[in-house]
């Protein structure tokens, strides 16, 4: 089935991106059909059957898109469902198609090749629009430089998107060059430069703001000697671009001669001031999606604003942040920030990846989000359907391609020997699956049991190389005992309720072919009540894999730490370490109480104190806020909420227990026990 879906998905993505500047209907139509395909794939559960391990980064991106729509609905509702606001909401609502697009392009296995080809075709369409204009004679060749070329659409939209498409095409050229496809690389580089040059003909000032950032983003992809050359080339290109921008030079000349700004800048300053006043008057609600236009009209009628604003600025405030602040208040600011900075953070993590396709897709993704940040300084890009739909399709496509490429990037076999160490007690339900998963990456498996009364030891002997039974001195000392028995160059320290997933196993083997760090953290994927948590408590990445030499465990009774010698490097892997933390709610209560009391005694042993019950209460509340809000635990639904409450209770119990261990309370308890 995948082969039947793959080609249409790739074709639709390429058609949508390539047709962006030719017709907004082509972009919107391709996006809609792709989304419908994603809905069908999701309902049929086809992607799940392929073994797709849903990346939590994609879920985070999805949250940013639907939160933006949710804020728009909130704003539209508060203003009373106005007609004008409804039109804006209709534009914003298409962002809810993000997840169906991800499903379709993940199932179709969209990759770097198709993604960069799509943007190359967009660069072709940019050059074609200029060529057709010249051939048709609608604009004399000699006057092209004196006019604002827009390819038949708004020059701002054309210039911004053509510049962005051109630079992503240059990234594609670098990708092909690094992939030894030199002829195609040369073609893409020529197309990218051509598209960027045509974009500058639009005389769009925001292009000059974005240009240096886009040029700098190319640097991680260049070889060291070319980076040095670019230090001279980039300033030269910027000076040339500014010198050939007639609008900029005219504005500079006017300011030099008269000391006044040109009309375009003056109008923007006035409308920005009005938008800021709307926000300060209504910081939590804004004036509504349709209220902005009414406020501008009212200001003009009252004589407090220039009449020219009626013709240019009733639709939006020519600045994304101020426009959303004016219409939706603080929620609007938050929605804008998430929509820009979550994609920026997700892509930025992979810019320096050693995997060629991943690094280039990451740079392209950073270009999209950072460009929209800069374009939005002078234009309300998320209020224009062309801008918004292009952002939706390009972010979804580049993100899908990035994680599709990552899935297939772990191909090397490890060259380092690995010992897996596991300590156990009454873990017969977990131990077999744990040891089987450890074999994905370990040459030696060591189990140290502390007196199990079930079949744990019997089962362990079927899968482990070393199984010993000993006493229980506490977590830190017991794990150190297991570590002392390891003989591998590297050690993987697991708990019995943890599993190495196949994808994590491939990543570990790939990294240990040529380690780029001395230790690795493995992100948790807590699985509880039948649900895998991607956020909240799963936001942690415990240190589990390390070079054995010189490493030891702390002697803590609980929450032991791996002590890495100073100067060694630690990195975090992408793959997930599945953690089956509780069997059922009863086990959750039992285990939580045990860990809380052990934590109380450990802190007491360290000489720490809690003088009042206010501190345990505040710590419990802060834990809930951290797990549920800061670590996005609310995205895990009802189980995420239950988990946040459970961990808050553990924190409270730990510090309340510490309060009971104060010497005067201990003596009082002992006295009463003696009397009885």
Q: In terms of Cα–Cα distance, which of 165, 184, 174 is closest to 121?
A: 165
Which string of DSSP letters, residue by residue, matches 259-276?
A: S---HHHHHHHHHHHHHH
Contact 195, 149 (CB under 8 A): no
pLDDT at 141 > cutoff 70:
no
The pair phi, psi for residue 524, each rounded to 5°, is -75, 150
* Residue 610 CA: distances (Å) to CA of 483, 584, 599, 648: 34, 32, 13, 17
pLDDT at 351 > cutoff 90:
yes
Contact 433, 499 (CB under 8 A): yes
Contact 359, 113 (CB under 8 A): no
pLDDT at 617 > cutoff 60:
yes
- How far apart CA 512 and CA 508 sit, in angstroms, is 6
Region of residue 162 (phi > 0: left; psi between -120 and 50: alpha; otherwise: beta): alpha
- 3-state secondary structure at position 546: strand
pLDDT at 437 > cutoff 90:
yes
Q: How confident is the model at residue 531 (pLDDT cuts 50, 70, 90)?
A: confident
The residues near 63 (Cβ < 8 Å, ≥ 6 apart) are 338, 342, 632, 635
Residue with tokens 């391990």: 53
Residue with tokens 């074609």: 128
- How far apart CA 563 and CA 548 sit, in angstroms, is 11
Q: Higher-confidence residue: 70 or 609?
A: 70
- The tens digit of pLDDT for each residue in 454-496 reads 999 999 999 999 999 999 999 999 999 999 999 999 999 999 9
Q: In terms of Cα–Cα distance, which of 397, 396, 535 is closest to 96?
A: 396
Element (DSSP H or E) covering residue 179: none
- How far apart CA 302 and CA 625 sit, in angstroms, is 47
As a whole number, mean pLDDT of residues 77-106 equals 94
According to the model, what pLDDT value does residue 255 have? 64
Six-digit token string for 27: 């972009």
According to the model, what pLDDT value does residue 665 have? 62
Element (DSSP H or E) covering residue 197: helix 182-200
Six-digit token string for 473: 């001195």
As a whole number, mean pLDDT of residues 132-152 equals 74
CB under 8 Å, gap of 24 or more: what pairs does 471-476 form?
472/425, 474/555, 474/556, 474/557, 474/558, 474/560, 475/423, 475/556, 475/557, 475/558, 475/559, 475/560, 476/553, 476/554, 476/555, 476/556, 476/557, 476/560, 476/561
pLDDT at 142 > cutoff 80:
no
* Residue 240 CA: distances (Å) to CA of 217, 236, 246: 19, 6, 12
pLDDT at 218 > cutoff 80:
yes
The residues near 142 (Cβ < 8 Å, ≥ 6 apart) are none
According to the model, what pLDDT value does residue 675 have? 47
- The tens digit of pLDDT for each residue in 144-157 reads 666 788 888 999 99
- The tens digit of pLDDT for each residue in 28-74 reads 999 999 999 999 999 999 988 888 888 999 999 999 999 999 999 99
The residues near 78 (Cβ < 8 Å, ≥ 6 apart) are 285, 288
Contact 147, 15 (CB under 8 A): no
Which string of DSSP letters, residue by residue, matches 89-115?
A: HHHHGGGGGHHHHHHHHHHTT--HHHH
Q: How confident is the model at residue 2 (pLDDT cuts 50, 70, 90)?
A: low
Highest mean pLDDT among 124-133, 222-231, 257-266, 584-593: 124-133
pLDDT at 432 > cutoff 90:
yes
Q: Higher-confidence residue: 560 or 329?
A: 329
- How far apart CA 166 and CA 84 sit, in angstroms, is 35
- How far apart CA 169 and CA 216 sit, in angstroms, is 15
Contact 166, 192 (CB under 8 A): yes
Q: How confident is the model at residue 136 (pLDDT cuts 50, 70, 90)?
A: confident
According to the model, what pLDDT value does residue 164 have? 98
According to the model, what pLDDT value does residue 233 have? 80
- 3-state secondary structure at position 405: helix
Q: Which of 100-109, 111-120, 200-209 has the lowest mean pLDDT?
A: 200-209
Region of residue 55 (phi > 0: left; psi between -120 and 50: alpha; otherwise: beta): beta
According to the model, what pLDDT value does residue 588 have? 86
- How far apart CA 489 and CA 146 sit, in angstroms, is 68
Q: Higher-confidence residue: 146 or 302?
A: 302
Mean pLDDT score of the chain, rounded to an integer? 91
pLDDT at 672 > cutoff 60:
no
Q: How confident is the model at residue 5 (pLDDT cuts 50, 70, 90)?
A: confident
Contact 503, 604 (CB under 8 A): no
pLDDT at 667 > cutoff 60:
no
Element (DSSP H or E) covering residue 446: strand 444-449
According to the model, what pLDDT value does residue 583 have? 76
Q: Which domains does the chain have, with CATH numbers?
A: 2-137+245-407 (no CATH), 418-579 (3.90.550.10), 585-675 (no CATH)
Q: Give 152's Cβ-side CA count (13 Å radius).
A: 16
- What's the N-to-C CA distance of the chain in angstroms? 75
Q: How confident is the model at residue 598 (pLDDT cuts 50, 70, 90)?
A: confident
According to the model, what pLDDT value does residue 49 have? 83
pLDDT at 670 > cutoff 50:
no
Q: Cα-Cα-Cα-Cα dihedral of 327, 329, 330, 333, to 10°?
A: 20
Element (DSSP H or E) covering residue 195: helix 182-200
């Amino acid at each position: 089935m995948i082969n039947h879906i793959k080609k249409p998905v790739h074709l639709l993505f390429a058609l949508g991106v390539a047709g962006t500047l030719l017709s907004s209907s082509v972009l919107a139509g391709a996006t809609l059909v792709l989304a419908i395909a994603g809905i069908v794939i999701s309902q049929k559960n086809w992607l799940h059957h392929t073994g797709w391990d849903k990346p939590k980064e994609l879920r985070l991106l999805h949250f940013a898109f639907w939160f933006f729509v949710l804020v728009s609905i909130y704003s539209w509702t508060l203003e009373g469902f106005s007609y004008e606001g409804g039109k804006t909401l209709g534009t914003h609502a298409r962002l809810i198609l993000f997840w169906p697009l991800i499903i379709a392009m993940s199932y179709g296995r969209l990759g770097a090749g198709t993604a960069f080809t799509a943007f190359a075709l967009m660069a072709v369409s940019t050059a074609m629009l200029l060529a057709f204009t010249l051939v048709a004679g609608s604009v004399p060749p000699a006057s092209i430089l004196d006019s604002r070329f827009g390819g038949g659409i708004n020059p701002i939209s054309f210039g911004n998107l053509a510049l962005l498409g051109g630079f992503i095409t240059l990234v594609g050229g670098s990708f092909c060059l690094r992939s030894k496809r030199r002829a195609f690389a040369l073609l893409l580089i020529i197309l990218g430069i051509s598209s960027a040059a045509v974009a500058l003909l639009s005389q769009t000032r925001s292009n000059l703001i974005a240009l240096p950032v886009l040029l700098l983003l190319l640097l991680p992809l260049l070889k060291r000697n070319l980076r040095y050359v670019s230090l001279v080339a980039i300033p030269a290109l910027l000076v040339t671009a500014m010198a050939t921008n007639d609008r900029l030079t005219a504005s500079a000349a006017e300011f030099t001669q008269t000391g006044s700004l040109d009309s375009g800048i003056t109008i923007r300053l006035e409308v920005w001031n009005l938008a800021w006043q709307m926000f300060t008057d209504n910081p939590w609600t804004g004036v509504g999606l349709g209220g902005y236009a009414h406020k501008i009209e009212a200001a003009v009628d009252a004589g407090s604003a220039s009449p020219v604003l009626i013709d240019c600025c009733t639709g939006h405030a020519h600045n994304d942040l101020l426009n959303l602040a004016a219409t939706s208040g603080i929620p609007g600011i938050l929605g804008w920030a998430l929509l820009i900075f979550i994609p920026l953070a997700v892509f930025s993590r992979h810019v320096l990846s050693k995997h060629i396709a991943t690094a280039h897709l990451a740079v392209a993704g950073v270009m999209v989000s950072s460009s929209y940040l800069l374009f939005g300084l002078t234009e309300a890009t998320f209020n224009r359907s062309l801008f918004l739909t292009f952002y939706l399709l390009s972010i979804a496509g580049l993100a899908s391609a990035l994680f599709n490429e990552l899935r297939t990037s772990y191909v090397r076999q490890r060259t380092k020997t690995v010992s897996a160490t596991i300590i156990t007690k009454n873990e017969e339900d977990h131990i077999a699956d744990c040891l089987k998963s450890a074999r994905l990456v370990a040459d030696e498996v060591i189990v140290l049991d502390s007196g199990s009364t079930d079949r744990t030891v019997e089962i362990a002997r079927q899968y482990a190389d070393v199984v010993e039974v000993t006493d229980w001195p506490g977590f830190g000392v017991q794990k150190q005992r297991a570590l002392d028995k390891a003989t591998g160059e590297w050690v993987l320290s697991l708990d019995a309720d943890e599993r190495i997933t196949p994808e994590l196993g491939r990543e570990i083997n790939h990294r240990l072919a040529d380690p780029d760090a001395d230790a690795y953290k493995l992100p948790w994927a807590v699985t509880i009540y039948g649900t895998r948590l991607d956020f909240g408590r799963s936001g942690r990445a415990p240190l589990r894999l390390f070079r054995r030499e010189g490493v030891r465990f702390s002697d803590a009774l609980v929450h032991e730490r791996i002590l890495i010698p100073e100067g060694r490097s630690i990195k975090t892997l992408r793959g997930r370490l599945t953690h089956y933390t509780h069997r059922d709610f009863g086990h959750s209560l039992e285990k939580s109480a045990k860990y809380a009391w052990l934590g109380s005694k450990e802190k007491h042993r360290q000489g720490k104190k809690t003088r009042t019950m206010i501190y345990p209460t505040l710590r419990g509340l802060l834990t809930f806020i951290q797990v549920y809000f800061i670590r996005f635990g609310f995205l895990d639904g009802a189980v995420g909420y239950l988990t946040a409450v459970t961990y808050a209770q553990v924190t409270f119990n730990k510090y309340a227990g510490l309060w009971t261990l104060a010497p005067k309370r201990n003596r009082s308890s002992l006295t009463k026990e003696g009397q009885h």
